[in-house]
Structure 1
Amino acid sequence: MKLCLDCIVCFQKQALFATKDLDDELRSRILKKVMFFLYNADWKTSSDEFANEVHRIIREVSGLSDPYKEIKKRSNEISLKMYPVLKKLLDRESSGNRLYTAAKIAIAGNIIDFGPSNEFDLESTIDEVMSKDLTINNFKSLEEKVVSSESMLYFADNAGEIVFDKIFIEEMLRTRNKPFEQISFVVKSGPIINDAMLEDAYEVGLDRLPNIRFLEISNGEKNSASSRRSDEVRRYIEEHDIVISKGQGNFEGLSDFHNIFFMLMAKCNVIAKELGVDIRSSVIKYKE
């Protein structure tokens, strides 16, 4: 997905939020360097590549290896406290509706995002998503793939949100009544915004799911893992029976690929316009 002009302003807001606890002089230097990059960069580059560079600059100039570390830890803790409540919500559903409800729970968790906005109400978002139909609803195709597939590739988005993903995957296993031969769960190889990393996946207990392995994609640092748009990631997609992409960032980076279910909440005008939906719409979109 190509960069949109609205993204330029969003990246500057991200730089301000990521450095909110630093002194004004250092914040000014970081913001100027980010603005210098934005001014000189090729605006035909993809938005996820821009994000990688903006947050690399923030880490480099601030000296903070992970500016969102405490936010991610707190997001995981809050979501884990909600886990039993959400499981009870599922238990109130009839057998035929459980997987659909679990999918909506996973989408509701996508609101835990400090990229497009740093203000959200998790509990009210869950209520909102549960009370409305999906705006783009390819759930039936997803359900069929869940039942028939032997391998799954799951691109995670944010810390905290991955607890909601865990509930969804657990419900997939219940629906199938057998494990996948392999679940490949994709996280970031290093810090960028509040994106989930390997340590977050272990912190919320995803490693206890049957036949799961973890793959890493790059946060933009040199000599890190492969980027979302790499041939290696394309190979991952081709090798798995079902592929699920969570969130806006993965949609931006993977929208050129095929055989992917995109699950997200549209949280900004750019993504909403690209999908042809209103802001705060919940989406399961299959790209064949």
Structure 2
Amino acid sequence: MRTHLDCYPCFVRQAVDAARFAGVDATAQKHAVRTAMEVLGTVDAELDPPRVAGRLYRALRDELGQADPYAQVKEASTKAALELYPWLSERVAASDDPLEAAVRVAIAGSVIDAGPADTAPTAADLWAHTQRVLSAPLAVDDLDALRAELARAPWVLYLADNAGETVFDRVLIETLRLPVTYAVKSGPTLNDATRADALAAGLGSRARIVDVGCAVPGLDLGRCSAEFRRAFATAPVVLAKGQANYESLSEAGHRVFSLLQVTCPVIAGDLGAPVDGVVIRRASTAVLAEV
């Protein structure tokens, strides 16, 4: 998915959010915005939004002088999600279709997104949001195709999205009853999950955790490690969580299934789905030359 003109105001707003999360003063916040605009003025607009964002956040980390401006919100998000974990597990176990319920739970976790949000949700927020996602119609429904692929897959590659959301992923991983390789960022970028965030969510005993080899939103295969690229190339099924992974992998081939709730009008237009739509989408024909 290419970067649209409407993405640019969002990039600038995220620069402001990153500066505020970092706790810097108003002058430093203005410098962060100037840095963002300088990056956006030179970056190739043909890149997908996560690649643009990756360049932006690297520049912002240097500008702000903080390795992880989102550390506190990530910790708070994981804590709130863990409070909800027993209910999530029980809700899936009691469902007539545990796989669908677990997929919906995983999608519900995508509300934990510091890209468009400026605070961590509470356990009550997450509970209410999950209830809505569990009962909402699917705006894009490739669940049957996903079910069929999982039935014959010997293992699954699961691309993490955000910290805290990792707890919701854990519910789906426990429901799959398949070996899962859980791929996380190799360093901080926004509130994306790292190895430490996955371990804090209790995934250490549920999946094999691997680093992708870089720290950018979504998935930039050209920057990933050779080890991860081999895992991606050989995975029989890839579960790609969240909007950034969708933006990176919307044309990555039929092995890839995007699980997300739409919050961005640009992505809504690309999907042909409404904002707030719940999406299980099989990717279209592969175009990833790096693989």
- Whether 1:101 aligns to 2:101 is yes
Deviations, residues 7-46 of structure 1 (Å, cap 9, x unaligned): 1100111011111121011111111111111123222222
User: For residue 133 of structure 1, what is the aligned residue in structure 2?
Assistant: 137
Calculate the TM-score normalised by the size of structure 1.
Answer: 0.89
User: For residue 246 of structure 1, what is the aligned residue in structure 2?
Assistant: 241
**Gaps in structure 2 of 5+ consecutive residues:** 285-291
Using the alignment, how far apart are the partners of 1:228 and 1:194 within structure 2?
Answer: 20
1:39-118 correspondence to structure 2 within 5 Å: 39-94=41-96, 97-118=97-118
Using the alignment, how far apart are the partners of 1:260 and 1:237 within structure 2?
Answer: 10
Please tell me whether the aligned partners of residues 217 and 228 of structure 1 are also in contact (alpha carbons under 8 angstroms): no
After TM superposition, the structure 1 stretch with the greater mean CA deviation from structure 2, 98-107 or 119-128, is 119-128
Q: What is the number of residues matched between the two proteins?
A: 274
Q: For the structure 1 residues 213 and 117, does the alpha-carbon distance in structure 2 shift closer, same or farther, using more than 3 Å as the test?
A: closer
1:285 to 265, 281, 285: 281
Instruction: Please tell me the residue identity of whatever aligns with 2:5.
Output: L
Using the alignment, how far apart are the partners of 1:282 and 1:234 within structure 2?
Answer: 28
Deviations, residues 220-242 of structure 1 (Å, cap 9, x unaligned): 59xxxx93356845543331111
What fraction of aligned residue pairs are identical, expressed as a percent? Answer: 32
Instruction: Please tell me the residue identity of whatever aligns with 2:67.
Output: S
Please tell me whether the aligned partners of residues 8 and 38 of structure 1 are also in contact (alpha carbons under 8 angstroms): yes
Using the alignment, how far apart are the partners of 2:270 and 2:130 within structure 1?
Answer: 24
Deviations, residues 78-126 of structure 1 (Å, cap 9, x unaligned): 10110001112123223xx111111100000011101133366423221
**Gaps in structure 1 of 5+ consecutive residues:** 174-178
Please tell me whether the aligned partners of residues 106 and 168 of structure 1 are also in contact (alpha carbons under 8 angstroms): yes
User: For residue 27 of structure 1, what is the aligned residue in structure 2?
Assistant: 29
Using the alignment, how far apart are the partners of 1:230 and 1:29 within structure 2?
Answer: 28
Please tell me whether the aligned partners of residues 228 and 253 of structure 1 are also in contact (alpha carbons under 8 angstroms): no
Using the alignment, how far apart are the partners of 1:236 and 1:164 within structure 2?
Answer: 23
Please tell me whether the aligned partners of residues 105 and 134 of structure 2 are also in contact (alpha carbons under 8 angstroms): yes
User: For residue 275 of structure 1, what is the aligned residue in structure 2?
Assistant: 271
Using the alignment, how far apart are the partners of 1:148 and 1:66 within structure 2?
Answer: 40
Using the alignment, how far apart are the partners of 1:25 and 1:126 within structure 2?
Answer: 39
Calculate the TM-score normalised by the size of structure 2.
Answer: 0.88
Please tell me whether the aligned partners of residues 251 and 283 of structure 2 are also in contact (alpha carbons under 8 angstroms): no
Please tell me whether the aligned partners of residues 249 and 283 of structure 2 are also in contact (alpha carbons under 8 angstroms): no
User: For residue 287 of structure 2, what is the aligned residue in structure 1?
Assistant: none
Please tell me whether the aligned partners of residues 154 and 186 of structure 1 are also in contact (alpha carbons under 8 angstroms): yes
Using the alignment, how far apart are the partners of 1:103 and 1:168 within structure 2?
Answer: 6
After TM superposition, the structure 1 stretch with the greater mean CA deviation from structure 2, 29-38 or 227-236, is 227-236
- Whether 1:165 aligns to 2:158 is no
Instruction: Please tell me the residue identity of whatever aligns with 2:241.
Output: K
Over aligned residue pairs, what C-alpha RMSD do you find? Answer: 1.9
After TM superposition, the structure 1 stretch with the greater mean CA deviation from structure 2, 254-263 or 233-242, is 233-242
Deviations, residues 162-207 of structure 1 (Å, cap 9, x unaligned): 110110010111xxxxx43xx2211111111100001111111111
SS of the aligned residue for 1:37 comes to helix
Please tell me whether the aligned partners of residues 263 and 284 of structure 1 are also in contact (alpha carbons under 8 angstroms): yes
Q: For the structure 1 residues 204 and 115, does the alpha-carbon distance in structure 2 shift closer, same or farther, using more than 3 Å as the test?
A: same
